[in-house]
Structure 1
Amino acid sequence: MASLLGEKLFEISGQGPAPSKDFYNFEITRNEVILNRWTISMRLENKFRPPKQQRSTFSNFLLDKQLQDDVSNVFGEKILDYSLSLCQGHYDYLDRIQDDLLLKIMSFLQLKDRFVLAQLSKRFNMLCNSEKFWELTVKNDCPDYHTDMEDLAKAMGWKITYFTFFHNDGTNHNDHNGNDTTSKGTEEQ
């Protein structure tokens, strides 16, 4: 799993809280935390001032309340919490997996679970609305699909093809193993 981690684990940039106009860049690499600060001022003495840089190891960042406060004030409490988690070794591997591999993994889920997954993050929403996702869904999950339909699906779009030819309003959905995935309605008396 360590191979999924790049050199840079996280990076964010933004302007400091009002009234400051200073610009900040916060970066977490595999072994250190870096906070860069550019002073933005109309004063002549600040014109050629280089950025200030604070570097800290993970263990020092976890203990450095001042640096944590700086990160929280500029980027918010959620970014600070996420940064602390990364420094404690709690990596978000799911967000680091390549799209093709994620689509392959998602193909083993039932369709309703894929839609729940789309609500997890912007990335999953984008993946679940991609043409590649719908192509895999039609090809793998629709027993009535024939290769003759591929040109039509490419022209119409795979998502439209799915909802036009294969989706029947939740009345008869089968997963890729042939199991009925619809919930039974109330029985007639």
Structure 2
Amino acid sequence: MASWWKDRILLDLSGQAPSPLKDFHQLLVTKDEVIWRWWKISLRNDKKVAPGEVRESHEDFVYDDRMHSEVRRVFGESWLEYTKNLCKGNIDYIVRMPKPLLILMASYLDLEDIASLAQTCKTFREVCNSDTLWERIYEDHSDTVTDEIRELAKDISWRELFFTNKLQLQVKLRRKREQSAKSKSSKDNVFLTTQ
């Protein structure tokens, strides 16, 4: 676990301050500290202000009301609470796992559970809607996966293919064959006319 933590950024937010200010801000939370950076943007050339930075330990950030008000002003209350939770050690490890591992874990769930998991956060929505996951699910629930099925999945996605009933699947495969035959015959005709 220590190697996972080394030089790990837990949170990296950046954005412009709310109107009428045009200042740019960045909030970084690493395993050891909170870094708040700002760049003053002014339409006037008479004042040159250098960028600024404040670094604090997690413990200092939890009790720094001035820093809290800045984070709240720029990023909102929800990001402030999330940052304070990170500083208190409440880290969401599961969404920080590599996507292939999350997909593997999701592939062992029932379909109802995958639908529920997709509603929990953005990361799991991406995982639960990924083509890689649905390819695994399709292969687990199907007797054989032909090259023709793989080509169709490229066109419509593995998820849609999984939820397509057998009759609809046969129609889609027939259409795909017809399109392939048409494109092949048109290529042959072009080849013959050029000779």
TM-score, scaled relative to structure 2: 0.76
Contact conserved, 1:13 with 1:25, CA < 8 A, in 2? yes
Partner of 1:84: 84
* 1:2–1:117 distance in 2 versus 1, CA, 3 Å: farther
Deviation, 1:165, is 4.3
Q: How does 1:174-189 map to 2 (within 5 A)?
A: none
The count of residues paired between Structure 1 and Structure 2 equals 161
Partner of 2:44: 43
State the secondary structure of the residue aligned to 1:126: helix
Percent sequence identity is 37
Contact conserved, 1:7 with 1:30, CA < 8 A, in 2? yes
Deviation, 1:57, is 0.5
1:146 maps onto 2:143 in alignment: yes
Partner of 1:75: 75
> 2: CA distance between counterparts of 1:11 and 1:138?
36
Partner of 1:181: none
The structure with more helix, counted as a fraction of residues: 2
1:65 maps onto 2:65 in alignment: yes
Highest RCO, 1 vs 2 (Cα 8 Å, sep ≥ 6) = 1
Q: CA offsets per residue over residues 92-151 of structure 1, 9 Å max, x none?
A: 1111011111111112211100011111122222222221111111122x1xx233x231
**RMSD across aligned positions (CA):** 1.7
TM-score, scaled relative to structure 1: 0.79
Structure 1 unaligned runs (5+)?
167-189
Partner of 1:186: none
* 1:61–1:125 distance in 2 versus 1, CA, 3 Å: same
Return 119-128 or 22-31, whichever deviates more. 119-128
Which residue identity is paired with 1:106? A
Rg comparison, structure with higher value? 2
Structure 1 runs of 4+ with >3 Å offset:
1-6
